[in-house]
Amino acid sequence: MSATTTPVLFSDLGRRAAPPTIARLMTVAIETPELLSLAAGFTDNRTLPAGEVADVARSLAAGSSDPEYLQYGTNQGRQGLRRVLGERLRSTEPAYSAEQLAERMIVTNGSQQALYLAAQVLCNPGDIVLVDRPSYFVFLEVLLGLGIQARSLPTHADGSLDATKLGEMLDAMKARGEADRIRAVYFVSYFSNPSARSLSAQEKAGIADALQRRGLTVPVIEDAAYRDLYFQAPHNAPSVLSMEEWGPFPKLYLSTLTKPFATGLKVGYGVCTHPELLKKLLHVKGHHDFGSANFNQAVLEKVIADGGFERQLKRIRPMYAAKMEALHASLEAAGLERAGWRWNRPDGGLYLWLEAPSDVDTRLDSRFCKECLEAGVVYVPGDLCFGDEAPTHFVRLSFGVLEPNDLAEAGRRFGSVAARFR
Ligand SMILES: Cc1ncc(COP(=O)(O)O)c(C=O)c1O
């Protein structure tokens, strides 16, 4: 018998593990160059800061006879990087000193690792995480993979949080004896993936209030991956770190240096206000990898300290705004609105979130999806972005990767298929 056919007994986690949709979509996009991808949330290769990174790498090599940056780093992350991140974050979180922010920080292999760590240390299989609606689909897959249930925070028709319904939902969960299985609440609060919406201070306060009134001061995970990627002006709501309403809650604020600077460096970070939770995250991080890539952190530390991070943001903001406009305009020109589709023009982020007429099924195995692939365009089916009760007529389009001409062509292709489904 060949070794490949020898049966392997998997753990519950191994048995549950399914191919991550994101990896599939990224592979399709990379391996089929003629396909225009509006799917994976990549950044634009033409805007990546190759020159800046090369200069910093050269100056690191030239400036030191002790290349410690090529040595293992620390589990929590480079002190210098945490310090410059703390100083930067302080401008939006004045309730903390830069030192306090740096002390409470954990540097991770992208914020994706921080999400996985949080789910691992907080939840057992069968536990519940409250998530925004729609939510970041890769995190939803993490929850699924760990056997954790996602339960959506209720929304109004315009996508804003419905605090009254949230209260009713929590009461019903209490009555059913489910509430003590709620282990965390998660939301993407700035130019969200996928909806491009930002939560107002009032909406965030509404979530805190509904939970606290019912004694559910569970950890809050605020995912601010796109906070820096505004087009004109930052979104004005404070983060949970600085909101009085979230005072009694353990808080984990997550952000990343991938989307706003270089995805390939894969460095993210979290600020955790709860010492015991931070310790647990660090313990499990130690089991994962005992520290993220030290060289990448050293590069980013210098880039931030030298002002290169802000320069890159200033450069890419108008570029992404122009790309959003190109896609938006081509969808309009393709008559998508006449075909009954609706979407918002975002103020930041990398995504358009489209609602099709309710009878247009956009799921991965749908006729609509197949026809889009035949037409040479790929998207993220919106049903993947719902923790529960997923509608099947939403689509997420990313304008991160393609240049404006290709975005216009991709919009035309998408629109021509949509027109056939009127
Ligand atoms: C909302 C959100 N959170 C977290 C991540 C993870 O990003 P990274 O691991 O590159 O920091 C992403 C990536 O697409 C995202 O969209």
Q: Which residues contact 27 (CB under 8 A, 6 or more apart)?
A: none
Q: Do 239 and 135 share a structural domain? A: yes
Helix (H) or strand (E) holding 278: helix 275-288
- Name residue 157's amino acid: A
Evaluate: CB of 225 within 6 angstroms of ligand 1.
yes
What digits encode the pLDDT tens for the residues 226-235?
999 999 999 9
Evaluate: CB of 270 within 6 angstroms of ligand 1.
no
Which of the 8 DSSP states describes residue 402? S
Question: Which residue, judged by its Cα, is nearest atom 8 of ligand 1?
Answer: 110
Q: Do 207 and 263 share a structural domain? A: yes
* Residue at a domain's end among 306, 325, 352: 306
Question: Which residue, judged by its Cα, is nearest atom 16 of ligand 1?
Answer: 193
Q: Does any domain span residue 354?
A: yes
What integer is the mean pLDDT of 408-417? 97
CA R_g for the chain: 22
Q: Do 319 and 302 share a structural domain? A: no
Distance CA 105, CA 154 (A): 31
pLDDT value, residue 3: 75
Handedness of CA 117, 106, 194, 366 (dihedral sign): negative
Query: Crossing angle, helix 110-122 and helix 137-145, to 10 degrees?
Result: 40
Q: Do 264 and 212 share a structural domain? A: yes
What does residue 336 show for φ and ψ, rounded to 5 degrees? Answer: -65, -35
* Residue at a domain's end among 279, 306, 333: 306
Q: Do 316 and 284 share a structural domain? A: no
Q: What is the mean pLDDT of the chain?
A: 95
72 C-alpha to ligand 1 centroid (Å):
24
Q: Do 94 and 208 share a structural domain? A: yes
Question: DSSP per residue over 109-158, as a string?
Answer: SHHHHHHHHHHHHH--TT-EEEE-SS--HHHHHHHHHTTPEEEEPPB-TT
Q: Does any domain span residue 60?
A: no
111 C-alpha to ligand 1 centroid (Å):
6
Q: How many domains does the chain have?
A: 2
The token pair at 41 is 């949330």
Q: Does any domain span residue 57?
A: no
The token pair at 232 is 């004109």
Helix (H) or strand (E) holding 276: helix 275-288
Residue percentage of the chain with pLDDT more than 70: 100
Top mutation candidate among 188, 198, 221, 258 for ligand 1, by most atoms within 8 Å of CB:
258
Nearest by Cα to 110 from 272, 282, 264, 288: 264
Evaluate: CB of 400 within 6 angstroms of ligand 1.
no
Question: Residue 1 above 70 pLDDT?
Answer: no
Question: Residue 71 above 70 pLDDT?
Answer: yes
> Among the listed ranges 9-18, 93-102, 154-163, which one has the minimum average pLDDT value?
9-18
Q: Which residue has the higher pLDDT, 9 or 18?
A: 9
Question: Residue 222 above 80 pLDDT?
Answer: yes
Q: Do 401 and 275 share a structural domain? A: no
Could you give the 3-state DSSP secondary structure of residue 397?
Answer: strand
Q: Does any domain span residue 61?
A: no
The token pair at 374 is 């035949």
> Among the listed ranges 3-17, 126-140, 324-338, 400-414, which one has the minimum average pLDDT value?
3-17
Distance CA 277, CA 295 (A): 27
Q: Residues 371, 372, 378, CA angle at the centre, nearest 5°?
A: 145
Q: Calculate the alpha carbon distances from 5 to 2, 17, 37, 338 in Å.
A: 6, 19, 37, 54
> Among the listed ranges 59-63, 81-85, 212-216, 276-280, which one has the minimum average pLDDT value?
59-63
Q: Do 302 and 318 share a structural domain? A: no
In contact, 113 and 291? CB cutoff 8 Å: no
What does residue 149 show for φ and ψ, rounded to 5 degrees? Answer: -85, 135
Q: Do 231 and 338 share a structural domain? A: no
CATH of the domain at 83: 3.40.640.10
Evaluate: CB of 258 within 6 angstroms of ligand 1.
yes
Distance CA 382, CA 397 (A): 9
What does residue 156 show for φ and ψ, rounded to 5 degrees? Answer: -75, 175
Residue 139: other Cβ atoms inside 10 A:
25
What digits encode the pLDDT tens for the residues 11-40?
999 998 888 776 777 777 778 888 999 997
How long a stretch of residues is the chain? 422
pLDDT value, residue 4: 78
Question: DSSP per residue over 147-213, as a string?
Answer: TPEEEEPPB-TTS-B-HHHHHHHHHHHHHTT-GGGEEEEEEE-SS-TTT-----HHHHHHHHHHHHH
Q: Does any domain span residue 56?
A: no
Question: Residue 42 above 90 pLDDT?
Answer: no
Q: Determine the structural domain holding residue 235 and report its residue range.
A: 67-306
> Among the listed ranges 60-64, 151-155, 337-341, which one has the minimum average pLDDT value?
60-64
Beta-bridge partners for 394: 355
Q: Does any domain span residue 4?
A: no
What integer is the mean pLDDT of 249-270? 97
226 C-alpha to ligand 1 centroid (Å):
8
Question: Which residue, judged by its Cα, is nearest atom 3 of ligand 1?
Answer: 225
pLDDT value, residue 33: 80
Q: Does any domain span residue 352?
A: yes
Residue percentage of the chain with pLDDT more than 90: 89
Q: Do 201 and 111 share a structural domain? A: yes
CATH of the domain at 367: 3.90.1150.10
What integer is the mean pLDDT of 258-278? 97
Q: Which residues contact 382 (CB under 8 A, 6 or more apart)?
A: 134, 194, 353, 354, 362, 390, 391, 392, 393, 394, 395, 396
pTM of the predicted model as reported, rounded to 2 decimal places: 0.96
Q: Does any domain span residue 401?
A: yes
Q: Do 145 and 285 share a structural domain? A: yes
Instruction: Spell out a b/e string for 207-220, using b for 16 or more CB atoms within 10 Å of the CB, else e.
Output: bbebbeeeebebbb
Q: Do 250 and 289 share a structural domain? A: yes
Beta-bridge partners for 380: 396
The token pair at 191 is 């130019």
Evaluate: CB of 112 within 6 angstroms of ligand 1.
yes
Distance CA 141, CA 144 (A): 5
- Name residue 379's amino acid: Y
Residue 10: other Cβ atoms inside 10 A:
10
3 C-alpha to ligand 1 centroid (Å):
37
Could you give the 3-state DSSP secondary structure of residue 68?
Answer: helix
What digits encode the pLDDT tens for the residues 237-258?
999 999 999 999 999 999 999 9
* Residue at a domain's end among 306, 339, 361: 306
